[in-house]
Amino acid sequence: MDIMNIPEMFGENVFNDVVMRSTLPKEVYKSLRKTIDAGEPIDMSIADTVANAMKDWAVSKGATHYTHWFQPLTNLTAEKHDSFIEPCGGDGVIMQLTGKSLIVGEPDASSFPSGGSRATCAARGYTAWDPTSPAFVKEGTLYIPTVFVSYTGETLDKKAPLLKSMTALDRATKRILKLFGIECRKVSTTVGPEQEYFLVDKDVYEQREDLILTGRTLFGAPAPRGQELEDHYFGVLKPRISEFMRDLDKTLWSYGILAKTKHNEVAPAQHELAPVFTTTNIAVDNNQLTMEIMKKVAQRHGMVCLLHEKPFEGINGSGKHNNWSLSTDTGLNLLDPGEHPEGNGLFMLVLACVIAAVDKYQGILRASVASAGNDHRLGANEAPPAIISVYLGDQLGALVDSIVLGKDYVPTAPVKGSIGVPESPIFPIDSTDRNRTSPFAFTGNKFEFRMLGSSASVADPNVVLNTIVAEEFCVAAEKLERSENFRKDCKAYTEKLLKVHYRVIFNYNGYGPEWEPEAERRGLLNNKNTADAVPEFFKQENIDVFVDQGVYTQSEAIARAKIQLENYVKTIRIEALTMLDMAKKQIYPAVSAYVGELCANLAAKKSVVADLPCAEEEALIKTLASCNENMMAAVRKLEADLSDIPEGEREASQRMAHVVVPDMENIRGFADQAEKLCSADYWPFPTYSDLLFSIK
C-alpha cells in the first residue's frame, strides 16, 4: 500500500493561506486577509497582483485554464473554462490572468433557472470573485469560487444569498454580544455536513434506465434481504469499498477538504463521509466538490455513486446532517452551554432566539429542504418526520421545562462513565443522549438539522437558518438595547420566548404514532411533499424576513420558490416518462413473453397428457397476465394525467404530487408484483439483489 504524507499533501491543490503568504507581497497579503477574516471590502488595487500570483501558482500545478466556478439554482456547480493564453505580438503567447478577469466574469445567464425574474432575452450575468473561499486547481484548470448575479443585480445562485445571510447573522449577533459587553471582529456560522451515499457496480447500474435517467429505481421488488439484520451499519468495509474510500479521502485532502469520518451506513451498499466542520460558505463549496469527487472516484473504481435521496424503496434513503453553530473570531461558540447553562444568560438568550426562529419560520425551514427526492425520506420513519420540532436533550430539556412549567431544576453534575471493568478507563459522559428522530436536535454545542437531502446544496437550509436567527436576534436586540435593567429584562425576555415557542420543543420519539396528532394539536405544520411545503415561501410574513435581513428582495424570494416548484414538476415528469418507457418497452414485453412460454408449455403438456395436474401453472399465467394488464391500465391513466398538467408551477406541482405520484406508485405496485413471479431469465433488468449485493 502506498504511504501518504498527509500533512504534506493536504491542500496541495489549493491557493490557501500558506501559498498566499509565500507568493504575495506582504502588504497585498495583509490586505487580502482583512477581506477574508474581517469581511472588509476588497481593495481593487491589489487584484492584478493577486491574479498574477494565482496564475503563476496554477501554471506550476499544470493548469492551462481558469474558470469562474459558481452555483446556479440547480444543486450543481457550473464552470466555463478560459485559457490563460494571450497573444503577445509576433506569433507567441504569454500566460496571463488579469485582476479584472479574476474579479469579474460574464457567462451568458439566459440558460440558467431564473424563476421568471428575468426575460430570456436578457442574457447578461456576472460572476464575481468570492475571496473568502479559496481558489484551487483541478484537472488542469484554476477554479475561482464566485457568486453569480444578473445584469440588474438579482442573485442567480446559491452563494450570494448565503454570504448575505452570513453577513446578516454577523451583524445581528454582534448586537446581542454587545449587550453582554462582548466585542469581536466577526461572527461566523460553521457547518459540518455529514454526507450519505450509495455505491453500486457500474455494469449493473448501466442496465437500469431508471438509475441512469433519474438517479433512483422506479421499479424493484424488495430483495429477500434488506437491512433487517442491522449488520451493515459500521460493518467491516469490503475491499473494493475500502479502496474507494481511501482514494476518495486522498483526493479530498489534496483539495484541502477535511474528510474525517467514514463508515458503512444502515442500508446495504450505503455509506457516509463526515468532514470536520468549517465556515459555512467553505463548507458549502467543499460539499459541492465532495459530491462531484465522490462520483468521479467511484467511476475510477468501476462503481457509480448514487447521491439521490431515495435510490431504493424499502431500505433507508440518504440525507445530509447539517451540524450548525455560530462562533466569534475570538473562539467563543455561542451554542456552548458551558457546565451551568442555567447561569449563562447569553447562551439562554441565544437558545431562546433559535427556538423562536425555528418555531416562527418552521414553514420555510421545512421548505428549504423540499425536493422530489427528499419527499421519499421525510416522514418515512428513517429520516426525521416532515414536522419541524426541536430536541433539547435531558439537561437543557429539564432546564427549559423548569422555566416554562415551573418544575424543579436540579443541575446535573458532569457524570463519569465506566464500563465496569477495573482495567478500563473512566471517561466523561455527554450531558445528553442522542435522538435520531428529531429534525432539529441540540447536540452538545451545536444544532443538527437533519432534514436535508443527500443531493441538495448545503446552502439552502443555511440561508434560511442564518436569516431567521438573525431576525430573532434583531428583534431581541431592539427590545433589550433600550432596557434600563438589562439582566432582569434579558431573563424575562428569554423566559417569555421559551414560553411562547414551547410548542416546538419535542424531546421524545418523532417516529411514534402519537407524534403526528400531537403536533397537529400544537398547531405545527406537517407539509409532507414539496408541492405543499414550498408555497410557504410565498407568504408575505416569510418573504419579509428575507427582505428585512437584506438576503433576498421580494422578487428574488418569489423567483426562487418558483424555481423550486418548477424543478419538482420537471423531476416528476422525467421520472414518469422514464417509468412509462420501462413499463411499455421492457416490463410488458418481458412478462408477456414469459406468459407466452408458460402457455405454450402448458398446451404442449396437455396435448400429451390431457389431465396433467397444472393448477399452479394456470394460476401463475392468470396472475402474471392480470398484473401486466393492470399495469398497462395504470400506464394509460398516467399518460392521460401527464397530458393534462395545468400551467403555472403551483397548480402543476399540486397535480404532480397528488395525481401523478400516486399513478406512478400504482404502476410500480403491479410491476413489482410481476417481478416476484416472473422467471429470472425473462426479467429485463437487474434486481434489487443485484444492485445492493454485487460489490465484493
Closest C-alpha to 394, from 349, 429, 359: 429
Residue whose grid cell is 431567521: 468
Nearest distance, CB of residue 453 and ligand ADP, angstroms: 17
Closest C-alpha to 39, from 241, 286, 364, 279: 279
**What is the contact mask toward Mg ion in residues 413 to 452, using x (rule: CB under 5 A)?**
----------------------------------------
CA distances from 80 to 70, 77, 157, 455, 515 (A): 10, 11, 15, 22, 49
Residue with smaller CB distance to ligand ADP, 18 or 276? 276
Residue with smaller CB distance to ligand ADP, 275 or 393? 275
Reading the block at residue 474, the C-alpha cell is 434583531
Q: Are 142 and 316 contacting, i.e. CB atoms less than 8 angstroms apart?
A: no
* Cα–Cα distance, 486 to 102 (Å, whole number): 48
Strands 141-150, 125-129: parallel, antiparallel or unpaired by DSSP? antiparallel
Residue with smaller CB distance to Mg ion, 111 or 261? 261
Q: Which does 190 bind (CB under 5 to 8 A by kind): Mg ion, ligand ADP, none?
A: ligand ADP
Residue with smaller CB distance to Mg ion, 271 or 321? 321
Contacts of 472 by beta carbon, 8 Å cutoff, 6+ apart:
353, 354, 356, 357, 360
Size, binding site for Mg ion by CB under 5 A: 1
Closest C-alpha to 309, from 463, 231, 195, 434: 195
What is the number of alpha carbons within 13 Å of residue 521 lying toward its C-beta?
5
Q: Which does 375 bind (CB under 5 to 8 A by kind): ligand ADP, Mg ion, none?
A: none
The site for ligand ADP (CB under 6 A) is made up of 190-192, 194, 274-277, 323-325, 333, 445-446
CA-CA-CA-CA torsion sign (111, 115, 121, 122):
negative
* Cα–Cα distance, 493 to 527 (Å, whole number): 31
Residue with smaller CB distance to ligand ADP, 127 or 195? 195
Nearest distance, CB of residue 272 and Mg ion, angstroms: 9
Nearest distance, CB of residue 394 and ligand ADP, angstroms: 17
* Cα–Cα distance, 88 to 111 (Å, whole number): 34
Nearest distance, CB of residue 277 and ligand ADP, angstroms: 3
Q: Report the b/e string of 441-464 with b at 16+ CB within 10 A.
A: bbbeebbbbbbbbbbbbbbbbbbb
Residue with nearest beta carbon to ligand ADP: 192
Residue with smaller CB distance to ligand ADP, 97 or 289? 289
Reading the block at residue 624, the C-alpha cell is 402474471
* Cα–Cα distance, 283 to 452 (Å, whole number): 14
Q: Which does 191 bind (CB under 5 to 8 A by kind): ligand ADP, Mg ion, none?
A: ligand ADP
Q: Which does 325 bind (CB under 5 to 8 A by kind): ligand ADP, Mg ion, none?
A: ligand ADP
Closest C-alpha to 31, from 18, 20, 19: 20
Q: Are 155 and 71 contacting, i.e. CB atoms less than 8 angstroms apart?
A: no
Residue with smaller CB distance to ligand ADP, 165 or 214? 165
Q: Which does 675 bind (CB under 5 to 8 A by kind): ligand ADP, Mg ion, none?
A: none
Q: Give the angle subtended at the CA of 115 by the CAs of 111 and 120, to the nearest 5°.
A: 40
Residue with smaller CB distance to ligand ADP, 259 or 306? 259
Nearest distance, CB of residue 190 and ligand ADP, angstroms: 4
Residue with nearest beta carbon to Mg ion: 321
Reading the block at residue 451, the C-alpha cell is 432534514
Report the site for Mg ion in 292-321 (rule: CB under 5 A). 321
Nearest distance, CB of residue 448 and ligand ADP, angstroms: 6
Q: Which does 578 bind (CB under 5 to 8 A by kind): ligand ADP, Mg ion, none?
A: none
Q: Which does 216 bind (CB under 5 to 8 A by kind): ligand ADP, Mg ion, none?
A: none
Residue with smaller CB distance to Mg ion, 159 or 321? 321
Nearest distance, CB of residue 351 and Mg ion, angstroms: 20
Nearest distance, CB of residue 276 and ligand ADP, angstroms: 5
Please give the residue ranges that form the binding site for Mg ion (CB under 5 A).
321
